Amino acid sequence: MVSKAHHHIQTIMIRNSNCSSIRMHHIWLFTIKFIYLFYFAASQNNSNTQELLDYRYACLDQSSVAPSTTYQTNLNNLMSSLSSDSATSNGFGNRTSGSDQNNKVYGLYFCRGDVNTSLCHSCVQNSSRLLEQHCPNNASAVLWYPFCLVRYSNNNFFGNLTIRPRIPMFDAKQNLTSAGEFDSDARILMNGLIQMGSQTDLMFGTHMFNINGTQSRYGWVQCSRDITNEECRTCLSNLLEDVENCCMQKKVWRIFSPSCIMMYETQPFFVNGTISEPAKEKDDSRSWIIIVIVVIGIAVAALLAFSAYYFRCLKRKKERNSMQILSPMFSQDQTDIEETRNTDLPMMPLSTILKSTNNFSDEYKLGKGGFGTVYKGVLADGREIAVKRLSKTSVQGVEELKNELILIAKLQHRNLVRLLACCIEQNEKLLIYEYLPNSSLDFHLFDIVKGEKLDWKQRLNIINGIAKGILYLHEDSRLRVIHRDLKASNILLDHEMNPKISDFGLARAFGGDQDEANTIRVVGTYGYMAPEYAMEGLFSVKSDVFSFGVLLLEIISGRKNSKFYLSEPGQSLPIYVWNLWCKRKGLDLMDPLIEKSCVPSEYLKCIHIGLLCVQEDAADRPTMSSVVHMLASDTATLTSPTRPAFSVGRGDVQRAVVDQESSSNTSISANEVTLSELRPR
């Protein structure tokens, strides 16, 4: 019980943070929460919680003829057998009773994955009694109790997906402020949980995330273990569709079916073994003695942990004093030093940066993004730099800056923007990049006047450079890196108009043989996101391939993908190109600015490669090594593309897009690293 409660506290405290960031006050909070949980457990021993009275049932047999006496006897024996089995099982069991096929009864139970055996047994016992009370003359029924599901039938349902009846429950007092809009946080959370929960051995998953650091959402999914993983996903997906119909403006809801369960709350409801069963009258004093002993033990353990942490801090302080290259780095968050020791990145004094930017004067400002502002600087030796200054009010941006600092310092390639130094001093958090005088790609590409600089040869060079940069990230660097935010504004151009990929704040690095991951926090920019990432949180190198495909089509057409969503709902640049391709009118896509310089055969090959990259199935998309080969070779054989996916647009994913990309080309800097993110808010 203690170990499970310890896990529960850790889940609440550090689910979304690094374990190394726990400080002294966290240890005391840890102790206080433990005492609270055990006090709560004690209170449960002396009263019956109202939640246990909250149940739903369905008597499925509508026949007016009562089951035979033999069937009723078999049913009673079955319920007794299920109850006995639940006392020693791991939360799931199915049984049959009776040898005569006409009177044979089938039954199963499954308990919530976070409850202990005794609570599961108690729940199955109570459910059996309630089924007998509410469905006395029914040959088939199902009951949902707070911690378990029990069902029986005169037909063999084992291994069969059963999604009806579906019983919704919701809190009528907790509504969304926007009428008619389904809670987008729920869709994002539940889509991730459906994938995660259906793949576990116990067929359940839970998760909690914070919205803007002020609100929490808690999700739960679970399936009966007699169905397959794929059937589990199907069952849960059907429930989520029903939720959007029944509970459109509700913040709190639960929905049940015979084969799966889904719950969404604003308050924690996970048990994790910390809630005890109702105590027997004679055991009250013994329970309190046990609780007091356990609490004292926890307090002693917390003091020991405090002491160990204190001496560890002393050791770190000595190590920091010997690391002159990092001082005075991360003065506000000392644990960040651990993450930056091996970045091989020089420090630049704040005084030097202030002098080079004239104290961050407006005349030196290059642009502004979601993270803060970018300034141009001129060092004493005449070198030009771009300084990315994190906004002091940007909480989210700190993590992106740390990620970029640790990651990009290990990457070196001619088509990646070069990070020169960093400075974290006096509440300032700064990254210093090479200065690129020709701004970002979108600054030129989508402007009629500036777009004339980009003839066909220049655009082909940019496409090849971007492809080689992504290939380096995916296959040739020390880390396998997924960028996750490839777009025209994140492609910077040097003095010779060579492309350099920027903004690694949202990038993820893989180690070993890992080539994909799943996340509930989906980040990026609409129009460039692969569908499996936007809708399911699944990202891989093929997610970047999709983004590259969209970017390639924008470069050769001179058209913004987002413009298609604005002009025609449901339309996208890939779909538009696909329709032209099918009609053999690919050249109609051509940007008028490159008609004189363009080579038609090369142009059609680029369309072909772009369509291969934006195919709906990630497995069908080529790798970046294949893309680089196809671009470079005139003899490479290109397979026929399939219909593109609908890239996620402004109206998709329940309007959960937070697009911070600049709407004005004039404000985009030579080194702007914008942050456009899809997340709950």
Active site residues: 485
Tell me how long the chain is: 681
What is the DSSP secondary structure assignment for residue 588, as one 8-state letter?
G
Q: Which residues face 250 on adjacent strands?
A: 175
Specify whether the backbone of 96 is left (phi greater than 0), alpha (psi in -120 to 50) or beta: beta
Q: Which residue has the tokens 């989520």?
A: 240
Q: For residues 432 and 422, is the Cβ–Cβ distance under 8 A?
A: yes
Give whole-number Cα distances, 263 to 5, 80, 186, 253, 550, in Å: 21, 29, 10, 6, 37
Strand pairing of 365-368 and 491-493? unpaired
Taking the C-alpha atoms of residue 94 and residue 81, their distance in angstroms, rounded to an integer, is: 9
Burial of 507 (0-12, 13-18, 19+ CB in 10 A): buried
Look up tokens 């005075």; give the residue.
328
Is residue 18 within 8 Å of 406, Cβ to Cβ?
no
Whether 454 contacts 444, CB under 8 Å: yes
Contact 377, 364 (CB under 8 A): yes
Q: What are the DSSP calls for 236-261, one per residue?
A: HHHHHHHHHHH-TTBSSEEEE-SSEE
| CB contact at 8 A, 291 and 279 | no
Q: Helices in 472-505 by DSSP H: which ranges?
A: none
DSSP conformation class of 622 = P
In whole angstroms, what is the distance from residue 675 CA to residue 503 CA? 8
Contact 482, 507 (CB under 8 A): yes
Query: E strands of 415-522, at which residues?
Result: 419-425, 428-434, 480-482, 491-493, 499-501, 508-510, 516-518
Instruction: Give the whole-angstrom CA distance, residue 467 versus residue 628.
Output: 6
What token pair was written down for 469?
């940069």
Closest C-alpha among 676, 634, 644 to residue 658: 676
Residue with tokens 């010997």: 322
Angle (nearest 5°) at CA 58 between 196 and 278: 70
Helix axes 624-632, 600-613, angle to 10 degrees: 170
* Strand 105-111 versus strand 56-59 pairing type: unpaired
Q: Give the Cα separation of 376 and 367 in Å (integer).
A: 10
Lookup result for tokens 């080194």: 671
